[in-house]
């Protein structure tokens, strides 16, 4: 068999393998992979950092400290896992469950379940937690606040890469871009409840508990 025939055969085999892979991949897995690929592009090293941090070690919390810089990948992955649980939940003022949730209740639930951090129930109380952070210094896990038209302020959780998770009044729990014209216009401030290293440690501890 000459080189040209070998290349053709290899090409056919690869094409069949790709087609088989696509046919067996559920849509939700493809969507999740696309999200993870996006964050990997925006924040290089996310995948390798995450795999390294979650591989079996004697003490993953000590390992997280040993990384030197706060491990944002741990926080991002933990928050994306929460997004998968909550995505599509309808918005409901006063709601606190998967049947309906408002923005501050979503933040409260996610922080309690992911980081074992108890936040107040309302946006007005949450905006006084931690310390202010400039928009240019946002890190995954920071709370981002908005003042849209109407009587209620709005809060979400920053994921990195210019995106945040929140309970939208029109579309329920979702991920949006800070650069979106609407959110850019009504951006108010950001708060950091705990330093990223501490959030990552709590996420690790919660995942093992």
Which residue in the list 7, 22, 83, 103 is annotated as catalytic?
103
C-alpha dihedral (37, 71, 144, 117), degrees to nearest 10: 120
Q: Mapping DSSP to helix (H, G, I), strand (E, B) and coil, where does residue 174 land?
A: strand
Catalytic residue list contains 103? yes
- Residues 53, 118 contacting (CB under 8 angstroms): no
Catalytic residue list contains 154? yes
Largest CA distance in the chain: 75
- Residues 13, 6 contacting (CB under 8 angstroms): no
Give the up-direction half-sphere exposure of residue 121: CA atoms within 13 A in the CB hemisphere.
Answer: 5
User: Beta strands 163-168 and 154-160: pairing type?
Assistant: antiparallel
* Contact partners, residue 61, CB within 8 Å, separation at least 6: 201, 204, 205
Which residue in the list 131, 166, 186, 198 is annotated as catalytic?
166
Which residue in the list 22, 154, 186, 198 is annotated as catalytic?
154
* Contact partners, residue 85, CB within 8 Å, separation at least 6: none
Catalytic residue list contains 166? yes
Round to whole Å and give the CA distance between 158 and 62.
25
Round to whole Å and give the CA distance between 14 and 20.
10
Active site residues: 103, 154, 166
């Amino acid at each position: 068999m000459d080189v040209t025939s070998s290349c053709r055969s290899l090409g056919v085999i690869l094409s069949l393998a790709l087609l088989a892979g696509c046919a067996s991949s559920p849509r939700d897995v493809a969507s999740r992979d696309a999200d993870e690929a996006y964050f990997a592009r925006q924040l290089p090293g996310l995948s390798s950092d995450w795999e390294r941090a979650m591989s079996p070690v004697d003490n993953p919390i000590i390992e997280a400290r040993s990384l030197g810089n706060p491990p944002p990948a741990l926080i991002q992955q933990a928050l994306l896992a929460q997004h998968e649980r909550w995505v599509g939940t309808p918005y409901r003022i006063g709601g606190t469950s998967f049947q309906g949730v408002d923005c501050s209740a979503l933040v409260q639930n996610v922080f309690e379940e992911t980081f074992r951090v108890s936040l107040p129930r309302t946006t007005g109380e949450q905006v006084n937690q931690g310390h202010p952070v400039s928009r240019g210094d946002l890190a995954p896990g920071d709370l981002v606040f908005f003042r849209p038209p109407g009587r209620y302020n709005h809060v979400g959780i920053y994921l990195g890469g210019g995106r945040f998770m929140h309970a939208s009044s029109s579309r329920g729990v979702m991920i949006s871009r800070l650069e979106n014209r609407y959110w850019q216009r009504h951006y108010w401030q950001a708060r950091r409840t705990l330093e990223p290293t501490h959030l990552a440690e709590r996420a690790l501890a919660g995942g093992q508990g």
